[in-house]
Amino acid sequence: MSEASVSSPEPQPAAPAAEVRDVEVPAVEVRGVDKIFTGKKKATVTALEEIELTVAPGEFVSLIGPSGCGKSTLLRLIADLDTPSTGTITVFGKTARQARIDQEYGIAFQQAGLLPWRTVTANIELPLELHGVGSAARKARSAELLALVGLSDFADNYPDQLSGGMQQRVAIARSLAESPRLLLMDEPFGALDEMTRERMQTELVRICAETGAAVVFVTHSIPEAVYLSNRVVVMSPRPGRIRDILTVSLGSASERGEQLRENEAFFENVSKVRELLHGEAPVGIRGVETR
């Protein structure tokens, strides 16, 4: 995976020396981060406490936990959509803010967030257009991405003519537009039905293998986290803390196919994550989602 990230095409031509150094520089480094929200009447809520997390280049890391455990907040901090109260966050060795300005990451939210007045192609080209990429280069890139997410036939359609799953695929294509080495995903499949969801997960594994990007993936589905990840970060709420980090050894992305869902090792890992989430021995039926 890390090899793939080195050879993956860069959006902007970087100095060769910097590229070599990037191998050691973690994709994301979160050091001693707290996040305290101050509400009305000066009431404070500690959303995150003492978060330590390192994501290697090309690594797929899931953040899982119950509602209110701060997993989305952590993602928003990495994306510089919010700033930590204490601690530091670096993305490829830069501050989160600089990384955002330099477009070091792509992002996808639970809502596809497509612009309804733009065609599928124009939606995917949006970040390229904003950053001054020429129209010929934009066309080529969007055609490439549409093929990657399997929507080439829908290039000139508008979002309202697509299903929810297709809209989400467009959003993922858009997040990949500038060939980022890091993808931030906040429950991108949360609003989809189970069947679409599993198909999207398989596609995401394939896309990650092809692009070699590191991914920070927020979810509250245990099988989803296990199926996709190299590591699963289990979080607990009030205050949001990292309870444990589980390394999932189910092989590289290219080896993860549909049959993995029936695999014994898969169920074992699902049980482990559930155990960590609930802090007790697993009971009940294996492989059933607890959402």
Partner 1 sequence: MRTSAGLSRTVLAPVLLGLVALALWQLLVVVFEIKPFIVPGPLAIGSEFGANFATVLQGAVVTGGNALVGLVIGGIAGILFAILAALVRVLDELSAAVVAALAVVPIVALAPVLYTMFGAGAETARQLVAAIAVFIPVYINTLRGLRQVRPVHRDLMHVYAASAWQTTRTVTVPGALPFIFTGLRIASSLAVISALIAEYFGGPVGGLGKSITSAASSSNYNLAWAYVLGAILVGLVFYCVTLAIEKFATRHYQPAT
Residue (131 or 278) nearer to partner 1, CB: 131
| DSSP string computed for 33-59 | EEEEEE-GGG-EEEEEEEEEEEE-TT-
Between CA 244 and CA 222 the distance in angstroms is: 14
Between CA 225 and CA 257 the distance in angstroms is: 15
Least distance (Å) between residue 278 CB and partner 1: 31
Joined tokens for residue 143: 């055609």
* Residues forming the site for partner 1 (CB under 8 A): 79-81, 100-101, 103, 107, 109, 111-117, 126-127, 129-131, 158-160, 164, 167-168, 191
Least distance (Å) between residue 105 CB and partner 1: 8
Closest CA relative to residue 108, chosen from 171, 33, 21: 171
Closest CA relative to residue 119, chosen from 88, 64, 162, 82: 162
Residue (32 or 134) nearer to partner 1, CB: 134
Strand spans (E) along 214-276: 214-219, 231-236, 241-247
Residue (30 or 99) nearer to partner 1, CB: 99
Place of tokens 């590591």: 231
Residue (36 or 126) nearer to partner 1, CB: 126
Least distance (Å) between residue 75 CB and partner 1: 11
Closest CA relative to residue 70, chosen from 201, 270, 220: 220
Residue (109 or 266) nearer to partner 1, CB: 109
Least distance (Å) between residue 126 CB and partner 1: 7
Backbone phi, psi, residue 66, to 5°? -70, 165
Closest CA relative to residue 206, chosen from 180, 174, 172: 172
Least distance (Å) between residue 283 CB and partner 1: 36
Which residues is 94 bridged to in the sheet? 91
Least distance (Å) between residue 261 CB and partner 1: 26
Residue (80 or 268) nearer to partner 1, CB: 80
Least distance (Å) between residue 160 CB and partner 1: 4
Between CA 97 and CA 202 the distance in angstroms is: 32
Residue (14 or 288) nearer to partner 1, CB: 14
